[in-house]
A and B are shown apart, each in its own frame.
Chain A
Amino acid sequence: MNLKNDYENAKFTHIYVEKRVWSHPRTKEILTHFPKAQIVAIDHYKDVFNRRGQDVICEHRSQSLILAQKEDHYFYEGAPVCQDFGNTNFYYCSTMMNCIFDCSYCYLKGMYPSGHMVIFVNLEDYFRELEQILVKKPMYLCVSYDSDLLAMEPLVGYAKHWADFAAKHDNLKIEIRTKSAGHKMWELPCLTNVIYAFTLSPQRMIDACEKGTPSAKARIACATTGLKLGYSIRLCFDPMLYLPTWREDYDTLLRQVDEAFKEQGLSMKQLTDVSVGTFRISQDYMKKLRRTMPAAPAVQFPYVNVGGVYQYPPKLLKEMEDYLILELGKRMDKEKIYHE
């Protein structure tokens, strides 16, 4: 029986709003998208987001929105499990917490105590602090790690704000990573220091593990359209997930990529770069994921724990990454292929 169809609320039927951002223009703008939503005034987002004993999976299915103000810690140093693409001063920031998509293997389900989504509406405070940092040093900043900013673009327009900010700061390079494929994406500013990074997965993997995300074909089409228009495009074959048919699946994916590039008269050499990485996750997050998602094969795979990080057994990991690196190397310069 499908509980979702029968009993559960749809996404964003409830919106929690911190009283201090009640009058914020961005709050008002976001709320206009949800005229029927039940609005609940709250003192602090943590009163909802950090409650004891939440069921992240149930909450994610009937996700509520929380509009809040970020007070401090606007920027974090990039985690060792994340690729820096050869950049120094690698940071990331969370203007949103949690994602609209529902990927079964997603670390966010292990990292956050709640399945609800938080949007920090005070984006200008991030910019203010970033201005001060950029006076002292350049920065490589990933703005779409703990959410999918581009998937939420019609609602909040944060990717555009980030791109506009980057346009004024040469020493800032930003990456906006996404699994979305919105047609209006390419109304965003076209800049050399704003990289639009598309996570690509084989369709079989999308069907099995990436609920609610656009198809592989749609993502590839969107990425190639952007590239054709002169945008900086990164393709991320990360995370590579194991399925018994992984080799065949990635062959198909690469064939789809080849066809799309050919159709647009493009070469993969025109990409900013690509990344390759098999699935890896911290042991703490995995522990929670395994408890909450007992029926998800991607979570229940017998990973090996290497220094507190769960990953594929070394032989399989090497086989998968080497295969893809080899295949990509046939299509583009090896220097542009990043992997750990």
Chain B
Amino acid sequence: MLTIYCALFSEAQEIIKRFQLKKETRNTHFQVFSDTKGEIRLVLTGVGAIAAATAVAEISSCYPPKQTDLLLNFGSCAARDEVPIGKVFVCNKLTEECSGRTFYPDMLYHHPFLEAELISRPKIQSLNEMESDCTKEMAWKETRLYDMEAAAVYQAGNYYYGSHQMIFLKVVSDHGCKEDRKDGKMTDMQAQMSALMQDIAEPVSRYIETLCEICHTKKKESQTQAMFRKQAEEEAAKLGKQLHCSFVMQKELLQLLLYWKLTGTDDTEILEEYYRQGRLPAKDKREGKKILDELKERL
């Protein structure tokens, strides 16, 4: 499953609409939307690091992610003037400004967007702060983005997800907070955000679909492997009883059966021989050990 974390409804509404997500009735501190196929869940975290980290922790505890699941943090960010509004970036580096800690989500899947470094700050980015920051250490040319949640999402998410399971997708919504903007009405800002998200909805939706396909493919692979192991475990449990296996013998038997299955060895034919000879079930542990040793010899 893909779980998408957005700070604001205006950032999420286009995704909710396009993927026909329905609000979940489960009682959490956060609004959660999901599809009927069980492929996408979208969480509204609210603004800021603490809200984001809490949301990731609470939702991940309610719905513990599997190895095959992905986390997507999607939302708006600020950038310097030269980066056009509406440009979408995948973030390959997240820095939490207040602690100075940097995190690197794995970049394993290809995507149609540009990549950039993102700095998470506890307050809305001002133009002046952004400009002074960019003059500091830019020997390595990186586009820098600014938001308030990503580093927190990564840190909280890393308790539940690996660095290869978290993706940070940000769209540039402004060039820093200017004085005149502070006086702007909230409704205007929301409308602007909604319009922006509508503009980029197409490529973002396609990317989300791709991420869902990745989850689906991985899930199928994982299910096949789990089923395979479960089969071997069941067989080992049954045979282990007949061999009076100790804990260690049981482990050895399971490993042997797993290997046989992987290499396509027909173990039923081998075991049938023992049943025919009346050696299975074994009369005691000693006889069981002898049979197990013989089985291991038949590799």
Does A300 lie at the interface of the complex (its beta carbon under 8 Å from any beta carbon of B)?
yes
**Chain A residues in 8 Å Cβ range of B229:** 294
Does A133 lie at the interface of the complex (its beta carbon under 8 Å from any beta carbon of B)?
no
Contact at B110–A9, with CB atoms within 8 Å? yes
CA distance in complex: A294, B106 (Å) = 22
Residues 24-54 of A contacting B (Cβ, < 8 Å): 38-43, 47-48, 51-54
In the complex, which residue of chain A has the Cβ closest to the Cβ of B142?
A41
Contact at B107–A43, with CB atoms within 8 Å? no
Contact at B255–A302, with CB atoms within 8 Å? yes
- Minimum CB–CB distance from B104 to chain A (whole Å) comes to 5
**Chain B residues in 8 Å Cβ range of A48:** 104
**Chain B residues in 8 Å Cβ range of A3:** 214, 217-218, 221
CA distance in complex: A17, B162 (Å) = 22
Does A79 lie at the interface of the complex (its beta carbon under 8 Å from any beta carbon of B)?
no
| A52 touching B163 in the complex, CB below 8 Å, given contacts A3-B214, A40-B93, A59-B108 | yes
**Please, what's the 1-or-0 string for B151-186, where 1 marks a CB less than 8 Å from any CB in chain A?**
000000010011111000000000000000000000
- Minimum CB–CB distance from A286 to chain B (whole Å) comes to 11
Pick the residue among B93, B110, B262 that contacts A300 (CB under 8 A): B262
- Minimum CB–CB distance from A269 to chain B (whole Å) comes to 35
Contact at A300–B117, with CB atoms within 8 Å? no
In the complex, which residue of chain B has the Cβ closest to the Cβ of A52?
B158
**Chain B residues in 8 Å Cβ range of A294:** 225, 228-229
| A302 touching B256 in the complex, CB below 8 Å, given contacts A47-B104, A64-B107, A316-B299 | yes
Does A55 lie at the interface of the complex (its beta carbon under 8 Å from any beta carbon of B)?
yes
Contact at A302–B163, with CB atoms within 8 Å? no
| A313 touching B296 in the complex, CB below 8 Å, given contacts A54-B106, A64-B107 | yes
Pick the residue among A13, A54, A61, A302 that contacts B296 (CB under 8 A): A302
Does B190 lie at the interface of the complex (its beta carbon under 8 Å from any beta carbon of A)?
no
Does A14 lie at the interface of the complex (its beta carbon under 8 Å from any beta carbon of B)?
yes
Contact at A55–B164, with CB atoms within 8 Å? yes
- Minimum CB–CB distance from B140 to chain A (whole Å) comes to 4
Contact at A62–B108, with CB atoms within 8 Å? yes
Residues 295-340 of A contacting B (Cβ, < 8 Å): 295-297, 300-302, 313, 315-316
Contact at B163–A38, with CB atoms within 8 Å? no
Does A22 lie at the interface of the complex (its beta carbon under 8 Å from any beta carbon of B)?
yes
Contact at A59–B106, with CB atoms within 8 Å? yes
Q: Which residues of B are at the interface with A, using a C-beta cutoff of 8 A?
A: 67, 92-93, 102-104, 106-110, 115, 117, 139-140, 142, 158, 161-165, 210, 213-214, 217-218, 220-221, 225, 228-229, 252, 255-256, 258-259, 262-263, 296-297, 299
Contacts A/B (CB < 8 Å), 26 sampled? A6-B213, A7-B213, A8-B109, A38-B107, A40-B104, A41-B140, A53-B161, A53-B163, A54-B162, A54-B164, A55-B67, A58-B106, A59-B106, A59-B108, A62-B106, A62-B109, A64-B107, A294-B229, A297-B263, A300-B258, A301-B259, A301-B299, A302-B255, A302-B296, A302-B299, A313-B296
